Amino acid sequence: MQKKIFRRWIFIFHFIFWGAHWSLAFLGFDNLTWNGFSTENNLLYVAFGYGIISNMLLFYWQYFIAVPYYFVKNKFFNFFTTTLLFFFLISGLEGYLDYYFTEANNIIEERYTFFEFTMIWLFPDFIFNVFYMFLGFLFRFPLEYFESEKKKQELQKERHRSELKYLKAQLNPHFLFNGINSIYHLIDKNSVLAKNTLLRFSDLLRYQLYESNSQKIALKKELDYISKYIEIEKLRKGDDIILEYHISNINEDQLIAPLLLIPFIENAFKHVSNDDDPSKNQINIKLFETNNKLQCTIENTFDSFNNSNTNLSGIGLQNVKRRLALLYESQYDLRISTQDNVHKVFLEINL
């Protein structure tokens, strides 16, 4: 709809622009003469008529053909060649008409030399024709440029959307694998607990399948989902770890891209240390939103012989880094560090 309105305004502008030119023949000519062409012999009107038509042809050659088909497609040889040929064709034809009407009406008794003909007729025609040809280029090029940039942005967005869909599709099997693995370990330890955990796990899976399909989701829902996941892991790990977590959401209307934080939390539980002393196996999670910023801090101890925790290996973490870059660009701060057998993730997102 907006495109149609824009085109309508472009048409109106062109109509006014050329209408103003043609109105000169009726409003601006009063006892004028030009190289023998005057209003008295009506030749000035004739010359003005085919002169404006020449200008319009050169203008719209640039506007409809040269710029959209050659220049913006980087076919510069075709652009310059066709432009010059068309320019000399139209200018030569206009010069011929000048000469024809001059001879036919005996405006000047002496015959012209080629130099005189060039300076008297062709040179002024060339000046005007170059001006209108350049004007056609000037009118069309910005439209093509902005249209091209708009298409590039749309293609980029479409690539981002496709990539995000692919990345999110990867998350579900990754989450499913981790969840089933957690329940598997519980079956031998406590079958009743395994059943209860399976029910909770089905709730989480339902969230992933049905509620997280939009680009943005309520932050409260996402944090509730994370809390449920932590509770499942807490049941699985039992007394083997010391778990502390604090999750708060001040603004319940705040939105966030779904499933961004869970890979970091999964990683913490996956790589937490397995010392005989539970007090040495610690996970600390803090999630809170304030001033339209979400801050996430996740710390876990890890075994010194297990170096896999010190890098972003695995589909989930590589995935979430790419999604952050696509969805939030420069609106986030992600820092990951390891020190004294403690792995720490700090993430801040401008929501």
281-292 residue pLDDT tens: 999 999 988 888
Residue 231: its pLDDT value, please? 85
Q: Are 323 and 164 in contact (CB under 8 A)?
A: yes
Sign of CA dihedral 172, 178, 179, 180: positive
The whole-number average pLDDT for the span 253-260 is 85
Strands 282-290 and 242-249: parallel
- CA-CA-CA-CA torsion for 256, 257, 259, 263, nearest 10 degrees? -90
The whole-number average pLDDT for the span 263-284 is 89
Sorted by sequence, the CB contacts under 8 Å of residue 58 that are 6+ apart come out as 86, 87, 90, 129, 132, 133, 136
Sorted by sequence, the CB contacts under 8 Å of residue 92 that are 6+ apart come out as none
- Which helix (H) or strand (E) segment holds residue 86: the answer is helix 76-104
Whether pLDDT at 323 is above 50 = yes
Residue 318: its pLDDT value, please? 74
CA–CA dist 201, 63 (Å, integer)? 62
| Higher pLDDT pick, 156 / 326 | 326
Q: What tokens does 19 get?
A: 């209408």
Residue 31: its pLDDT value, please? 66
Residue 286: its pLDDT value, please? 94
The whole-number average pLDDT for the span 140-161 is 72
| Higher pLDDT pick, 345 / 5 | 345
Residue 292: its pLDDT value, please? 87
CA nearest to 25, candidates 12, 41, 39: 39
CA–CA dist 239, 20 (Å, integer)? 87
Q: Are 268 and 285 in contact (CB under 8 A)?
A: yes
CA–CA dist 167, 327 (Å, integer)? 12
Whether pLDDT at 247 is above 70 = yes
Strands 255-256 and 217-218: antiparallel
Amino acid letter for position 112: Y
The whole-number average pLDDT for the span 304-313 is 55
Residue 124: its pLDDT value, please? 79
* Percentage of the chain exceeding pLDDT 70: 77
Residue 144: its pLDDT value, please? 81
The whole-number average pLDDT for the span 276-283 is 91
Residue 270: its pLDDT value, please? 83
The whole-number average pLDDT for the span 238-242 is 88
Residue 28: its pLDDT value, please? 60
Residue 345: its pLDDT value, please? 94
CA–CA dist 304, 301 (Å, integer)? 9
Residue 190: strand pairing partners:
none
Amino acid letter for position 282: Q
Residue 290: its pLDDT value, please? 83
Backbone φ and ψ for 142, nearest 5 degrees, come out as -60, -40
* Largest separation between any pair of C-alpha atoms in the chain: 118
Cβ neighbours around 210 below 10 Å, total: 8
> Is residue 311 very low, low, confident or very high in pLDDT (cuts 50, 70, 90)?
very low
CA nearest to 171, candidates 261, 294, 271: 261
Residue 110: its pLDDT value, please? 61
Q: Are 299 and 283 in contact (CB under 8 A)?
A: yes
* Percentage of the chain exceeding pLDDT 90: 16
Q: Are 251 and 291 in contact (CB under 8 A)?
A: no
| Higher pLDDT pick, 7 / 130 | 130
Residue 310: its pLDDT value, please? 46
The whole-number average pLDDT for the span 175-195 is 72
Backbone φ and ψ for 72, nearest 5 degrees, come out as -70, -15
Residue 2: its pLDDT value, please? 58
The whole-number average pLDDT for the span 238-249 is 88
| Higher pLDDT pick, 184 / 85 | 85
Q: Are 29 and 44 in contact (CB under 8 A)?
A: yes
CA–CA dist 122, 96 (Å, integer)? 9
The lowest-confidence range among 74-78, 212-216, 288-292 is 212-216
| Higher pLDDT pick, 137 / 164 | 137
pTM summary value? 0.53
